[in-house]
């Protein structure tokens, strides 16, 4: 679901996620995962996702993401080094 965020041009974190396992995940056959932005209100993004194979849907998920204003994390000319945030590692 988080892979949808760059596509819609947002940086956000997961506030809540619900996953319903409908059937066992299939092994040895192709599975497709589809996510979509269901709704948006201010900083809140509601995203839905489905996992399916030729045997049908085996998982559904929905999540609430909260967008992050990246400008709050940048240094401005009136800030000091003590208020700057340390760099983070790329977790991909």
pLDDT single digits (tens) 4-44 = 888 888 899 999 999 999 999 999 999 999 999 999 999 99
CATH, range 4-69: 3.10.129.10
Which residues, 6 or more positions from 23, have their beta carbon under 8 angstroms from its beta carbon? 55, 56, 57, 58
Instruction: Assign 3 a pLDDT band (cuts: 50, 70, 90).
Output: confident
Q: What's the mean per-residue pLDDT of the chain?
A: 84
Which residues are registered as beta bridge partners of 44?
41, 66
């Amino acid at each position: 679901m988080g892979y949808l965020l760059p596509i819609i041009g947002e940086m956000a974190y997961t506030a809540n996620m619900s996953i319903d396992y409908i059937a066992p995940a299939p092994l040895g056959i192709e599975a497709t995962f589809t996510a979509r932005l269901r709704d948006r209100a201010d900083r809140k993004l509601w995203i839905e996702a489905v996992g399916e194979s030729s045997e049908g849907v085996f998982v559904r998920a929905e999540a609430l993401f909260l967008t992050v204003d990246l400008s709050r994390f940048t240094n401005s000319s009136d800030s000091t080094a003590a208020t700057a945030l340390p760099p983070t590692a790329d977790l991909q």
